[in-house]
């Protein structure tokens, strides 16, 4: 029992240390209950000019990223689509998926290529799944999704995760990082459908540029976190053993 109580305490310093080592400017800045500008227009994969308002009326799962991303954007979309397929919900009727590019240089062709690749990989029919290109900066600012082009690594720095909007375009919930379950996403969509706003999520310090697409693993910052957590676990175990040993000695003296 004592070990179970100590473990979360042992992890806190590691998480705090990781937070200091991660560029805070690129972590999620949640705005639960905030409004998203719905009248901005984007070009969808088929070349049609649409607004976000045309997608609302049902909950919207908003996935920001970019189509030619060499790191985590693809796995995030894979997780979202896998969770949607497992949710038992029907695209277009129960929700819409809006995959919105943050790269102003990307076009409807890039959106179409990404959509076709995603549908081929998942085997989904793509109903209610919209891939959009255009100026995403106002949308990103509204939901608290910071991003910036890094000329050194030639990638956009941005957080990982998705946002669920209500049918009227308010921010209902955030699913940060990766690894969403069908049940969790279904719950978020159903809550959004009744205009509920979830509590602000606990921060998950997982950024797109920490992911190595070549190996499918995370780079230095994530390994730092894991190493620190391992050390803190060992320190905690040593402290627990010392405490138990001292307790036994006291009992023997008595």
161 torsion bin: left (phi>0), alpha (psi -120 to 50), beta (else): left
5, pLDDT greater than 80:
no
| 50 three-state secondary structure | strand
* pLDDT tens digits, 93-137: 999 999 999 999 999 999 999 999 999 988 888 999 999 999 999
CA 218/CA 198 separation, integer angstroms: 29
Residue 216's nearest CA partner among 178, 251, 254, 190 is: 178
Element (H, E) at 223: helix 220-253
The answer to whether the CB of 147 falls within 8 A of the CB of 102 is yes
158, pLDDT greater than 70:
yes
Torsion angle, alpha carbons of 213, 127, 111, 26, to 10: -50
Strands 129-133 and 148-150 come out as unpaired
- The confidence band for 152, taking pLDDT boundaries of 50, 70 and 90, is confident
* pLDDT tens digits, 30-47: 999 999 999 999 999 999
78, pLDDT greater than 60:
yes
Q: Buried b / exposed e across 47-79, counting CB within 10 Å, b at 16+? A: eeebebebbbebbbbbbbbbbbbbbbbbbbbeb
Same domain flag for 151 and 232 = no
Same domain flag for 195 and 166 = yes
Radius of gyration of the chain, Cα coordinates, nearest whole angstrom: 21
Residue 12: the pLDDT is 38
* pLDDT tens digits, 227-236: 545 555 665 6
- The confidence band for 223, taking pLDDT boundaries of 50, 70 and 90, is very low
In this structure, the number of other CB atoms found within 10 A of the CB of residue 203 comes to 18
Domain residues for the domain of 159 are 24-204
CA end-to-end distance (rounded Å), the chain: 25
Same domain flag for 121 and 227 = no
What are the Cα distances from residue 215, in Å, to 158, 204, 243? 20, 21, 42
3-state helix, strand, coil in the chain (%, to 5): 45, 20, 35
Residue 105: the pLDDT is 96
Phi and psi at 2, nearest 5°, equal -60, -40
Residue 217: the pLDDT is 47
CA 79/CA 175 separation, integer angstroms: 11
Same domain flag for 131 and 223 = no
Average pLDDT for 53-57: 95
Same domain flag for 58 and 152 = yes
Average pLDDT over the chain, rounded to whole?
Answer: 80
Chain centre distance of CA 193 = 20
Give the CATH number of the domain where residue 103 resides. Answer: 3.40.30.10
Same domain flag for 95 and 65 = yes
Same domain flag for 4 and 62 = no
21, pLDDT greater than 60:
no
Q: Domain count for the chain, please give it.
A: 2
Same domain flag for 67 and 127 = yes
Same domain flag for 4 and 47 = no
Q: Which residues contact 220 (CB under 8 A, 6 or more apart)?
A: 210
* pLDDT tens digits, 134-148: 999 999 999 999 999
Tokens of 83: 């969770």
């Amino acid at each position: 029992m004592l070990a179970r109580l100590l473990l979360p305490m042992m992890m806190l310093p590691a998480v705090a240390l990781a937070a200091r080592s991660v560029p805070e400017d690129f972590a999620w800045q949640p705005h639960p209950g905030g409004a998203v500008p719905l009248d901005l227009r984007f070009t969808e994969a088929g070349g049609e000019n649409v607004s976000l308002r045309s997608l609302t009326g049902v909950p919207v799962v908003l996935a920001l990223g970019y189509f030619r991303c060499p790191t985590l954007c693809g796995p995030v979309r894979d997780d979202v689509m896998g969770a949607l397929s497992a949710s038992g919900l029907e695209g277009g009727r129960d929700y819409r998926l809006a995959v919105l590019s943050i790269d102003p240089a990307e076009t409807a062709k890039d959106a179409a290529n990404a959509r076709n690749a995603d549908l081929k990989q998942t085997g989904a029919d793509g109903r209610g799944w919209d891939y959009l290109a255009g100026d995403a900066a106002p949308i990103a600012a509204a939901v608290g999704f910071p991003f910036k082009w890094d000329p050194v690594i030639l990638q956009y720095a941005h957080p990982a995760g998705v946002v669920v909007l209500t049918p009227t375009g308010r921010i209902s919930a955030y699913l940060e990082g990766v690894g969403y379950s069908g049940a969790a996403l279904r719950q978020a969509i159903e809550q959004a459908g009744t205009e509920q706003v979830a509590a602000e999520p606990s921060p998950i310090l997982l950024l797109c540029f920490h992911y190595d697409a070549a190996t499918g693993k995370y780079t230095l910052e994530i390994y730092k976190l894991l190493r620190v957590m391992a050390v803190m676990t060992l320190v905690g175990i040593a402290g627990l053993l010392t405490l138990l040993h001292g307790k036994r000695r006291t009992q023997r003296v008595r």
